[in-house]
């Protein structure tokens, strides 16, 4: 059997390397790419984002208020509001599910998430590095969607509540 010429092997590897470099990052959203580097992307100010995430059939709206100073997140406030009952989702919200242990526990789990997600984002400084707290996926999805809306405003510096 005849041996392959080393030049063909090198050319083959070079073609693979070049073609793979064109694919890199194509499966990522433009907003995810823009949200990677906090210090060089975001303008100082206070930005808000509100979203229901994928729960458009539910009356719950998340609101995230992010304060950015020197390109870093310095304060983050996250709340969820029930627009039907006109009240905040908080540690007392489970009163609406008395006698239903499944929903009572779900309220507790999601309330735990509501309290944690702001702290997680302050520490990570990158929305894409925040993971859901076990059992609190609902509040996680609402937080992440709301935060991305606020951060998009910080990139475009539109709808600024306050700038310095």
Percentage with pLDDT > 70 across the chain: 78
What is the domain partition of the chain in residue ranges?
39-156
What's the average model confidence in pLDDT over 17-23? 62
Q: Give backbone dihedrals phi and psi of 77, rounded to 5 degrees, phi first.
A: -120, 125
- Report the C-alpha gap between 97 and 85 in whole angstroms: 14
Report yes or no: 144 and 130 within 8 Å, Cβ to Cβ. yes
Whether CATH 2.40.70.10 fits 39-156: no
What pLDDT does 9 receive? 76
Q: The tokens 């520490």 sit on which residue?
A: 123
Tokens of 90: 């908080």
What is the sign, positive or negative, of the torsion defined by CA atoms of 18, 23, 25, 29? positive
Which residues share a beta bridge with 51?
62
More confident residue, 5 or 146: 146
Please tell me the pTM assigned to this model: 0.73
């Amino acid at each position: 059997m005849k041996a392959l010429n080393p030049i063909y092997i090198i050319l083959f590897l070079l073609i693979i390397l070049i073609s793979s470099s064109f694919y890199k990052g194509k499966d990522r959203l433009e907003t995810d790419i823009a949200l990677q580097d906090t210090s060089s992307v975001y303008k100082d100010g206070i930005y808000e984002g509100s979203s229901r995430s994928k729960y458009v059939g539910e009356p719950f709206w998340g609101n995230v208020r992010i304060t950015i100073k020197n390109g870093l997140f310095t304060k983050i406030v996250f709340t969820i509001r029930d627009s039907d009952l006109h009240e905040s989702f908080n540690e007392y919200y489970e009163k609406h599910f008395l006698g239903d242990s499944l929903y009572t526990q779900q309220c507790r789990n999601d309330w735990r998430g509501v309290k944690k997600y702001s702290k997680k984002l302050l520490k990570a400084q990158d929305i894409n590095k925040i993971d859901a707290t076990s059992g609190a996926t609902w509040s996680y999805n609402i937080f992440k969607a709301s935060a991305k809306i606020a951060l998009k405003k910080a990139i475009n510096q539109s709808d600024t509540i306050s700038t310095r």
